[in-house]
Structure 1
Amino acid sequence: MTVTIGIGLPNQVLGVDPRIIAPWAAAAEQAGFASLGTVGRLAYPGVIDTVALAAAAGATRRIALLSGVAVGTAWPDVLFAKEVAGIDGVSGGRLTLGLGLGDRHRTDDFPLPGLGPRGLGARLDAALPVYRDVWDGKPIGGRDNPAVPPGTRRVPMMFGGTVPASFARMARWGAGYIAPSILPEFAAGLFDQARTAWADAGRDGAPRIAGLSYVVLGSDEEVERGRADVFHYYSYLGEQTAGWMASQVLTSAADVRRTISQAGDVGGDQLLFNPTIPDPAQIDRLAEAAGL
């Protein structure tokens, strides 16, 4: 199976300078990547994914945009739907909204009153029809005004998650599934669950399947820095899990090529490589390694 290749924006990489987001997006489009992705997390020293996507939309013309994944449960429903519609509109309809519940263990990602880290599945299920109504231009707040301009479309959604309810939600509302940031060999079972849920829901065709992988290409010092970044990001899960996630970082052109091949072997349609250091040189190195 042919796999399209995307690259992440460094919006949640330690030490990122926000001014790099727009030129990074433009350079990725020039290098031939099919899509740009983001990492969604609130309580982390980076650029929130909606802002990063908006900046990328303004700096590019053709490349697809994907939030991989946004924590919709941390936002008020109407506000988030309007934000997403605005990004999609500015981009000319290039956005796919990747959605996840967020992690209830990261309580600091849920600072808004009434939107805490409990009941996340039920909250997202209640939010999805609100998103649709907002995008359809229905009035909000008991008044006559819609939240979005005429011509706003229903933004296509993909869903992350690893529990049965996540796959059922994807099959009901989504265009496809986004795996966690693990190698395709570990994500294969999740891809199978997504396809099974899709068929069980009576959907035609097959879900779009996207994988995520961390990457750093360069010197030993850069590799060490990239692995340390991933370890830090997952350190709240404990040293063992954070260490395992850091071990998943790809560090050579051979790693990149092998991962692309594996993604195709397990039925992936799209593979996004997330940077682990905020150095624009990673764009051209990855493009060369991926054969773009």
Structure 2
Amino acid sequence: MTIGIGLPVADIPALLDWARRADAGPFRTLGLLDRLVYDNPEPLVALAAVAGATRRIRVQTEVLLAPLRDTVLLAKQAATLDRVSGGRFTLGLGVGGRPDDYRAAGQDVRRRGHRLDEQMAELGRLWSGEPHCAHAGPVVPGPGRPEILFGAFRPPALRRVARFGDGFLGATPPRYLGRLFRTVEQMWADAGRAGRPRLVAQGNVALGPAAVVEQARAEILRYYGPGEYAAQAAAGLLGTPAAIGGFVAECRDLGADEVMLYCWATDPEQVDRLADLPV
């Protein structure tokens, strides 16, 4: 099992420092979240810069809200990032659910699942190198696509893993994660897919002095906004070596191929502290 790190979004100029530190450590992947109506960096642009500043570590969206985006442009952007990074890009996809994001993108939040299904069919066709239409040629820089993960919780969304993807990203506590992993595996088998889906777990972490942990909680509350989910996410923050180590061990026991430790506080020394954990 491998370990990855999620990049904080509250200090955009520091992202490349975080990336270089992680690239020099034991981590496999750098992740970056996505929202539209928020002051975070646009993930495909930011991860292109991160890929250029690193040598070996993978870059991953966690997760990109595809229904907010033009499908043809997304096909070109994702394929380009995969090519310029030397195949180090993983496209994590989801739908989100914040009405303000969809309002700003001019999309109907009620159709987000249907739109993603339509997009995946179109993306697959474009990534294969087919022309866009009878009057327009191919749009991607050569056939091929990045690795695709889906982040989801409900059965209709989980089925996309077997229909369109390579694996599943579960951003939920271990007490729920096992059921989601097993459901994805069963859907994969039922669809007649060979092998097994890649299974990735994600937990929110902050490692350092009390001020670092408190900043992380504040950033989680700010990002997810007022409400029960934000309070639960902040309360579930893993802020000690023992808590993080226990989480990683539980995910390993559930069959995770990778655990993403998502950081919210901006202190880059967290990368070195996390690298030193005996996990």
Normalising by the residue count of structure 1, what TM-score does the alignment of the two structures yield? 0.90
Equivalent residue number for residue 282 of structure 1:
270
Q: Distance in 1 between matches of 2:30 and 2:85?
A: 12
Paired letter, 2:161: M
Deviation at 1:290, TM superposition (A): 4.6
Equivalent residue number for residue 173 of structure 1:
164
Deviation at 1:137, TM superposition (A): 2.1
Q: How does 1:53-92 map to 2 (within 5 A)?
A: 53-92=47-86
Which of residues 140, 143, 154 is equivalent to 2:135?
Answer: 143
The reply to whether residue 128 of structure 1 matches residue 120 of structure 2 is yes
Q: How does 1:152-163 map to 2 (within 5 A)?
A: 152-163=143-154
Deviations 1:180-211 (A, max 9, x none): 2x322332211111111111112122211001
Deviation at 1:140, TM superposition (A): 2.3
The reply to whether residue 22 of structure 1 matches residue 16 of structure 2 is yes
Among all aligned residue pairs of Structure 1 and Structure 2, give the percentage whose two residues are the same amino acid. Answer: 38
Q: Is the Cα contact below 8 Å between 1:7 and 1:273 reproduced in 2?
A: yes
Deviations 1:251-277 (A, max 9, x none): 011112111110111111110011111
Q: Is the Cα contact below 8 Å between 1:98 and 1:160 reproduced in 2?
A: yes
* SS of 2:3 mapped into structure 1: strand
* SS of 1:203 mapped into structure 2: coil
Equivalent residue number for residue 245 of structure 1:
233
Q: Residues 91, 244 of structure 1: CA spacing in aligned structure 2 closer, same or farther, 3 A cutoff?
A: same
The reply to whether residue 257 of structure 1 matches residue 245 of structure 2 is yes
* SS of 2:105 mapped into structure 1: coil
Equivalent residue number for residue 208 of structure 2:
218
Q: How does 1:190-201 map to 2 (within 5 A)?
A: 190-201=180-191
Q: Is the Cα contact below 8 Å between 1:63 and 1:94 reproduced in 2?
A: yes
Q: Distance in 1 between matches of 2:17 and 2:79?
A: 23
Paired letter, 1:160: G
Paired letter, 1:178: L
Q: Distance in 2 between matches of 1:219 and 1:20?
A: 19
Deviation at 1:224, TM superposition (A): 1.4
Gaps of 5+ in 2: none
Deviations 1:12-68 (A, max 9, x none): xxx31x222222212101012111111111111111111221111111121122211
Q: Distance in 2 between matches of 1:48 and 1:73?
A: 15
Which of residues 165, 171, 178 is equivalent to 1:188?
Answer: 178
Q: Is the Cα contact below 8 Å between 2:34 and 2:43 reproduced in 1?
A: yes
Paired letter, 2:59: L
Q: Distance in 2 between matches of 1:43 and 1:287?
A: 33
Q: Distance in 2 between matches of 1:118 and 1:228?
A: 30
Q: Residues 249, 280 of structure 1: CA spacing in aligned structure 2 closer, same or farther, 3 A cutoff?
A: same
Q: Distance in 2 between matches of 1:222 and 1:65?
A: 24
Q: Residues 65, 147 of structure 1: CA spacing in aligned structure 2 closer, same or farther, 3 A cutoff?
A: same
Normalising by the residue count of structure 2, what TM-score does the alignment of the two structures yield? 0.94
Q: Residues 19, 175 of structure 1: CA spacing in aligned structure 2 closer, same or farther, 3 A cutoff?
A: same
Deviations 1:142-188 (A, max 9, x none): 434321223x41222111111111121111111111112x3223322
Say what the alpha-carbon RMSD is for the aligned residues: 1.5
Which of residues 3, 12, 35 is equivalent to 1:5?
Answer: 3
The reply to whether residue 94 of structure 1 matches residue 100 of structure 2 is no
Gaps of 5+ in 1: none
Deviations 1:81-114 (A, max 9, x none): 11111111110111111110121xx11212223x
Count, aligned residues? 278
Q: Is the Cα contact below 8 Å between 1:185 and 1:266 reproduced in 2?
A: no
Q: Distance in 2 between matches of 1:168 and 1:231?
A: 30
